[in-house]
């Protein structure tokens, strides 16, 4: 029986303004088990990223308030101290954010920042860190890794920074990963390679993955279970195949139909035949 890594119970997120509360996310509950991927699907503004940031303690407490529980190792992360959360983030719990430019300090080289992360969470020597840094970049399909290590963030594309961030997160061997739109800024070929890396992690280890995306195609490739969010609420939840083929929710049906329409259009342009029918 697979161990439950994270149990989320009735998380709600509120925006506090002028002594008034307005809910942005309401009563979200799910479980993440080892070696499984939970796909969180929804359009922009649905609350999927907000939910995961609340779990990680990344929301500004002056602006947002949260209710509910996120149980990890018998502790509620929503009630944890900042310092305890900081120690967990990057080591036991990895979060890969959508915008890689905000995750790197513009004043330091990529090599310096990777070294800093390894130094914070491991006992590797400088020589070992250098070797591992090069391996990370090679694994993420990046050419001239030694040259990249000497560059500053602004000298690299968003896609390259995203791949570095993903590779570094995976190198820390976390218990579970929250991946927030990790393939958004990446070309289709590299996206395919990175999804394969996530699949390998899921299949060959006990790492759990929460994979957030608005792209039904990506979610269908990697997820075992799926949550569909709309306007801050869960509208569908269950095994991937059940959600995609048997859902009764109109919003979920609409997302599936939109994806099929894109596939159909692509096939019409490329081949003019073999159109997929829903």
The conformation of residue 248, written as its DSSP 8-state character, comes to -
Query: What pLDDT is stored for residue 278 in this prediction?
Result: 47
Rounded to 5 degrees, what angle do the CA atoms 193, 174, 191 make? 15
Task: Decide: helix, strand or coil at residue 260.
Answer: helix
In angstroms, the CA 270 to CA 267 distance is 5
C-alpha dihedral (48, 50, 52, 57), degrees to nearest 10: 180
Sequence-separated (6 or more) residues with CB below 8 Å from residue 115: 126, 129, 130, 133
Per the structure block, which two tokens stand in for 147?
């040259």
Query: What pLDDT is stored for residue 26 in this prediction?
Result: 94
In angstroms, the CA 221 to CA 213 distance is 12
Query: What pLDDT is stored for residue 269 in this prediction?
Result: 65
Q: Which segments of the chain have a pLDDT < 70?
A: 185-186, 189, 260, 263-278
Domain chopping of the chain, boundaries:
1-92+177-185+211-278
Query: What pLDDT is stored for residue 272 in this prediction?
Result: 56
Task: Decide: helix, strand or coil at residue 107.
Answer: coil
Contact (CB, 8 A) for 168 and 103: no
Please name which of 250, 228, 257 lies closest in space to residue 240, comparing C-alpha atoms.
228
The CATH fold of domain 1-92+177-185+211-278: Rossmann fold (3.40.50)
Per the structure block, which two tokens stand in for 253?
């049906």
Sequence-separated (6 or more) residues with CB below 8 Å from residue 74: none
Percentages of the chain per state (helix, strand, coil), in multiples of 5? 45, 25, 30
Bridge partners for 30 per DSSP: 8
Contact (CB, 8 A) for 59 and 50: yes
Query: What pLDDT is stored for residue 131 in this prediction?
Result: 94
In angstroms, the CA 198 to CA 130 distance is 23
C-alpha dihedral (31, 180, 58, 204), degrees to nearest 10: 50
Bridge partners for 49 per DSSP: none
Per the structure block, which two tokens stand in for 126?
């400088």
Contact (CB, 8 A) for 177 and 207: yes
Contact (CB, 8 A) for 77 and 55: yes
Give alpha helix (H) positions in the chain. Answer: 48-56, 82-88, 110-121, 126-139, 145-149, 158-171, 188-204, 216-222, 240-246, 250-270
């Amino acid at each position: 029986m697979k161990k439950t890594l994270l149990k989320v119970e009735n998380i709600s997120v509120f925006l506090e303004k002028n002594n008034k509360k307005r809910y942005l996310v309401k009563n979200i509950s799910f479980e993440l088990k080892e070696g499984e991927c939970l796909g969180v699907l929804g359009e922009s503004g649905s609350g999927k990223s907000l939910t995961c940031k609340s779990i990680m303690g990344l929301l500004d407490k002056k602006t947002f308030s949260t209710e509910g529980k996120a149980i990890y190792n018998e502790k509620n992360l929503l009630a944890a101290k900042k310092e305890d959360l900081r120690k967990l983030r990057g080591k036991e719990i990895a979060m890969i954010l959508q915008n890689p430019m905000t995750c790197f300090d513009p004043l330091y080289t990529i090599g310096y920042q990777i070294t800093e992360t390894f130094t914070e969470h491991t006992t590797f020597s400088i020589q070992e860190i250098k070797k591992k840094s090069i391996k990370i970049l090679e694994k993420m399909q990046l050419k001239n890794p030694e040259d990249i290590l000497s560059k500053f963030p602004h000298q690299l594309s968003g896609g390259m920074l995203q791949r570095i961030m993903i590779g570094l997160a995976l190198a820390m061997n976390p218990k579970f990963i929250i991946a927030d739109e990790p393939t958004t800024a990446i070309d289709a070929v590299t996206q395919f390679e990175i999804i394969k890396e996530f699949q390998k992690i899921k299949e060959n280890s006990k790492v759990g993955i929460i994979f957030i995306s608005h792209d039904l195609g990506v979610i269908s490739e990697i997820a075992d279970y799926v949550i569909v969010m709309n306007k801050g609420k869960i509208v569908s939840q269950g095994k991937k195949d059940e959600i995609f083929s048997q859902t009764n929710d109109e919003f979920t049906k609409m997302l599936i139909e939109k994806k099929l329409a894109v596939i159909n259009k692509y096939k019409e342009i490329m081949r003019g035949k073999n159109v997929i029918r829903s």
